[in-house]
Amino acid sequence: MPDPEDMPERQPRRLGRMMRHVRLVSRMAKATQTDLVEASEAGTLTQPDWADMVQTCRCCTGADRCPEWLDDHPCADGAPAYCLNRGRFKRLRAQSEEQAAGGV
């Protein structure tokens, strides 16, 4: 483990405003046809998972681009490549589609 004295000084990244990112995650879910309520009811999205998605969004350096992306893509096959939650949206949508098809 490196000695903390040898590590460069870093300013922590300032997190975005909580409610802004709650709305961004909700809008991104809607745009990607990811039903967060259904996922929650099915147990595939827990409260800690939801909180982690919002925190991840708050840390994302691409989040400032999302409002415009969402305005331009009201319905999309997936979140933009820079989205740190892209894989989660994809996984939740796939699980929902599988459950709807009677697979689980």
Residue 101's pLDDT is 87
- What secondary structure does DSSP assign to 14-39, as a single string? PPPPHHHHHHHHHHHHHHTT--HHHH
Which one, of 10, 45, 44, 11, lies nearest residue 25 by Cα?
45
Residue 5's pLDDT is 57
pLDDT in tens, the chain (104 residues): 455 555 455 555 566 789 999 999 999 999 999 999 999 999 999 999 999 999 999 999 999 999 999 999 999 999 999 999 999 999 999 999 998 888 65
Contacts of 90 (CB under 8 A, 6+ apart): 32, 78, 79
Residue 42's pLDDT is 93
How much is the pTM? 0.82
Which one, of 91, 98, 94, lies nearest residue 53 by Cα?
91
Q: Please report, for the chain, the start and end positions of each structural domain, with discontinuous segments joined by +.
A: 15-100
Please report the sign of the dihedral spanned by the C-alpha atoms of residue 67, residue 24, residue 59, residue 12.
positive
Residue 104's pLDDT is 53
